[in-house]
Structure 1
Amino acid sequence: MTVALFALTALLWGGGALATAMQAGVTPAPWSVALRMVLAGLILLGYGRLRGVPLAIPRKDRPAVALQGLLFFAIAFIAFYEATARMPSGLAALVLSTSSLFAAVIARGALGVPISSGFVWGALCGILGLVIIFLPGASAHGAASLAGFAWALTAAIATGAGTTVGARNQRAGLPVVSVLAWGAFVGAAASALWAIATGTPFAADVSLSYAASFLYLAVAASCVTFMLYFELVRRLGPGRAAYTLALVPLVALVLSALFEHLALGWPVLAGAAAILAGNVLVLARA
């Protein structure tokens, strides 16, 4: 069951990388994230009410829920949107996959979660695969990809930190649906404030591609995937759960090759093999 959750999360998020790239254009990234999180929050609240899940967050846990929303639902998503606007979505997803390392290190310091030797070797394989695949792509796209890399790395750090805060909230016994719903609303508010503070005007994109990608991102890649992902956090811990993002690039690279004309050659195959080997090592002790 855990392996199935792991694979489904990676597949849905892998498709989300291309859908995020389709959002670039008329509507600025912070406003796209704000709209997406409002819809996701409403759906999650409705789902929680139908299931009879307690939706109120205890006062003492509200700062942690807000922090999770800020990191995971605002900063990480805005940064990834900005990254896919500057580089192929497959390459951006590769950088994002390093969030497992940040999650493990932050969880070790904040929650005392041990780092196993299996995770270390698996993470090293993941890094090796990332380097094998990303370096040729970075060379091909030149200096223009550096800004995209910086944004993607910011998304990875924020995702790792948000994953760790999510693990803390689960340890506190908070219902996942409630945390995700309110976290999404916090992410929406933070994204809108970001846009206002940076003087980013709102512009509506009414194209079919934007609408389709928006619905996919809000429902499949947000509501469904968030619940799957934080269920993995509960089962595997934040470091290993975040390693689902090591599989995301494999899906994202294939879609990027099909729709963004990203060249796939031996570096991609060798790097993919290294990332998959890393997953086997990480999950072997899960």
Structure 2
Amino acid sequence: MSPTLVLYLVTVLIWGSTWYVIEFQLGVVDPAVSVAYRFALAAVLLMGWLVARRQRLIPPRHAWKHVAMVGTFTFSTNYLLVYLATERLPSGLVAVAGSALSLMNVLNARVFLGQAIRPLVLLGGLIGVSGVVLLFLPELRVDGLTGKAAVGLALVMLSNYSASLGSITVQRGAKAGVPLMPVTAWSMAFGAALMVGVALVRGATFRFPASVSYAASLTYLALFGSVIAFLSYFTLIGRIGADRAGYVAVMIPILALVISTLFEGYHWSPAAFVGLALAIAGNLLVLGPKTWRKRAADPASVTAL
């Protein structure tokens, strides 16, 4: 098996499974506390990796504003909203709804970076969102527009927007010569600190549950989901380019729904099958050949959890 294929499979398998693993973090401590634990541990692990590799650890002075913004949008707000959504929805649905991030990236790149929107890319984003809505129809019919499914979908969409703002910040940082790995590590630390503040405001209790499932899921999310998968994905980008590496975003929601079906008892309907197909087709258009747009997808544009 080629190293490139190994990197691709590692990235998909880890990020496709993290949606379900989040379930083991819920109902034990406040979601903000879990997010704080996760990224505090991930930051320490990533910083340790940088030190072991004798790579730069401290970002330059001009990069700290990027640290604060990525920490706020990507490694705190985004994940808190996802955890809150997963309290209300099967993890597979949350993963597919997360694919709407591609459309938000396109729109925000136009607003904040002045990038032109190619027609096929916009069409792909709209098709993908239509697929997400169709996938949620059975849930919405049961709970109505004010039920947990609708609230969960709204939370995922807000998390997508937050993650998209983080992606825009990463793109701007790349143009400014901001070193990606140390900024990612310190952004995780910043996001963890921010979640500590949110948890205190929410009146949450900081305790570490004496539960094997909680400890194991936290370790998996921090080590594999937040460090190893990112390193694998960035290495994959270096081998085959960001545009081709971005196709992991097509496989992640499929794997997440398969896992949700096996372990959460998710029930498929005709609308769900069509919705998933449209969501995948939309992502394929957005992540299509470079001739469809001016530049390839950025490293932060994939839905990673």
* Structure 1 position 194, deviation (Å): 0.6
The one of 271, 277, 280 equivalent to 1:276 is 280
The one of 205, 209, 233 equivalent to 1:205 is 209
Q: Distance in 2 between matches of 1:8 and 1:47?
A: 18
Between 1:2-11 and 1:35-44, the stretch displaced more is: 2-11
Q: 1:103-118 counterparts in 2 under 5 A?
A: 103-118=105-120
Amino acid at match of 1:129: G
Amino acid at match of 2:59: I
* Structure 1 position 110, deviation (Å): 1.6
Check the 8 A contact 1:41/1:181 in 2, yes or no: yes
**2:303 is matched with which residue?**
none
Q: 1:157-176 counterparts in 2 under 5 A?
A: 157-176=161-180
**2:53 is matched with which residue?**
51
The one of 179, 183, 189 equivalent to 1:179 is 183
Cα 1:68–1:228 shift into 2, 3 Å: farther
Amino acid at match of 1:114: A
Q: 1:5-16 counterparts in 2 under 5 A?
A: 8-16=10-18
Check the 8 A contact 1:73/1:183 in 2, yes or no: yes
* Structure 1 position 183, deviation (Å): 0.5
1:229-248 alpha-carbon deviations (Å, 9 max, x no partner): 567889548xx988854543
For the pair 1:134 / 2:136, whether they are aligned, the reply is yes
TM-score, normalisation: structure 2: 0.83
Q: Distance in 2 between matches of 1:51 and 1:168?
A: 26
Amino acid at match of 1:40: A
**2:102 is matched with which residue?**
100
Between 1:163-172 and 1:65-74, the stretch displaced more is: 163-172
**2:301 is matched with which residue?**
none
Amino acid at match of 1:149: L
Between 1:27-36 and 1:122-131, the stretch displaced more is: 122-131
Q: Distance in 2 between matches of 1:86 and 1:246?
A: 24
* Structure 1 position 190, deviation (Å): 0.4
**1:76 is matched with which residue?**
78
Cα 1:75–1:126 shift into 2, 3 Å: same
Cα 1:163–1:15 shift into 2, 3 Å: same
Amino acid at match of 1:207: S
* Structure 1 position 70, deviation (Å): 1.0
The one of 252, 276, 281 equivalent to 2:256 is 252
Mind listing any 5+ residue stretches in structure 2 that lack a counterpart? Answer: 291-305
Q: Distance in 2 between matches of 1:72 and 1:20?
A: 16
**1:153 is matched with which residue?**
157
How many residue pairs get aligned? The number is 284
* Structure 1 position 166, deviation (Å): 1.3
Q: Distance in 1 between matches of 2:48 and 2:115?
A: 33
TM-score, normalisation: structure 1: 0.89
The one of 222, 228, 249 equivalent to 1:218 is 222
**1:119 is matched with which residue?**
121
1:92-112 alpha-carbon deviations (Å, 9 max, x no partner): 222222111112211222222
Secondary structure of the structure 2 residue equivalent to 1:19? helix
Check the 8 A contact 1:90/1:255 in 2, yes or no: yes
Cα 1:172–1:228 shift into 2, 3 Å: farther
Check the 8 A contact 1:99/1:245 in 2, yes or no: no
1:168-201 alpha-carbon deviations (Å, 9 max, x no partner): 2222222222111001000100000110122222
* Structure 1 position 206, deviation (Å): 2.2
Identity %: 35
Cα 1:11–1:134 shift into 2, 3 Å: farther
For the pair 1:266 / 2:284, whether they are aligned, the reply is no
Q: Distance in 2 between matches of 1:30 and 1:190?
A: 9
Secondary structure of the structure 2 residue equivalent to 1:97? helix
1:188-227 alpha-carbon deviations (Å, 9 max, x no partner): 0000011012222223222222122111111111112334
Cα 1:279–1:97 shift into 2, 3 Å: closer
Check the 8 A contact 1:49/1:55 in 2, yes or no: yes
Mind listing any 5+ residue stretches in structure 1 that lack a counterpart? Answer: none
Amino acid at match of 1:82: L
